[in-house]
Amino acid sequence: MGYQARKRHLRETFRPREEWWSRVFATPAAYWILGVVADWRWITPNRLTLLSLATALVACFLITTGDERNFLIAAAVIQVSYIADCMDGQLARYRNTSSRFGAFFDKWSDYVKFPAILLALTIDALHRDPSHTPMVLGLAAVFLVGYLPYIKSLASSELGIGPWSVFSKPGFASRNLRFFLFEEAQWYLAVSVCLALQSSFAALLFIAVSQGVVAFAQTLRILVLLQRSSEP
């Protein structure tokens, strides 16, 4: 397929993602890269998922070294990992090879990446400040990043409750307010920014606080929806 034909097919199958940082950065990057590589046979969606997982683990290793330059590299590697994560589904749709196993592998690898990155951040933060503050933040963060996908998948698989539709209207304000849902994309951004600023502690603080607020709000939202639906 020629470049123009590939671009056209890509545009038809491409599904933009709603999350703020994804829409602003990772999805356009994924689109641009796929424009070049989408027909390379040896690149498959599952290999992209694997690449995303492997790069995230490399970033974890770099963070635990505690070195200033490695922190900067880790910040970039985390974004590479996130772009690869955005590419896999798009490539599967482009080639019409979406599979249940691919969907499972993608979600599973996300769920493994989160605590791995937080573990690395906590190890480094404790190294710099061996007190109980980073410890408590790390434990809270690792619980919260596991808890949020859990309550969402529980709500959608057993109760048919979809994602939060707040800030999903078209329009400049709504699109940008979506930043404050602190979805996955934003916390990848936050981790990268904090690493660039050489502070693993700030990353932990950001994740623990933002995910704590969102987890509380999501739990309330789902419970209220269930309460309403059970009224006669």
Partner 1 sequence: MAEASKLERLWPTKNPDDEWWSSFVTSPIAILINCVVVDWRWLSPNLITCFSLLTAIAASALIVIGGGMNFILAAGLINLSHVLDCMDGQMAKYRHETSRFGDYFDKVTDQVQVFLWFAALAYAAYLQTDSVTPVFLAFVGVSLYSLRVYVKYVTIFIQVRHDRDYLEKSSETALAIRSADALKAGLGAGWKLNLAWFLKEQRKFFLFNEAVFVFLLSAALVTGYLVPMLWLFASSQVYFGFVRSWQRGRQIYLNQQAALLKPMAK
Structure tokens at 213: 């607020």
Cβ at position 16, least distance to partner 1 in Å? 20
Nearer Cβ to partner 1 (127/169): 127
Of 68 and 158, nearer to partner 1 (C-beta) is: 158
CB 179 within 8 A of CB 169: no
Q: Which residue number, 156 or 174, has a Cβ lying nearer to partner 1?
A: 156
Residue 25 C-beta: closest distance to partner 1, Å: 26
Comparison of 78 and 138: residue with beta carbon closer to partner 1: 138
Shortest Cβ 200–partner 1 spacing (Å) = 15
Least distance (Å) between residue 63 CB and partner 1: 15
Which amino acid is it at 200? S
Residue 64 CB, nearest distance to partner 1 (Å)? Answer: 12
Query: Which residue type, as a one-letter code, is found at position 79?
Result: Q
Nearer to partner 1, 36 or 226 (CB): 226
> What is the contact surface with partner 1 in residues (CB under 8 A)?
99-101, 103-105, 107-108, 111-112, 114-115, 119, 122-123, 126, 130, 132, 135-136, 138-140, 142-143, 146-147, 149-151, 153-159, 219, 222-223, 226-227, 229-230
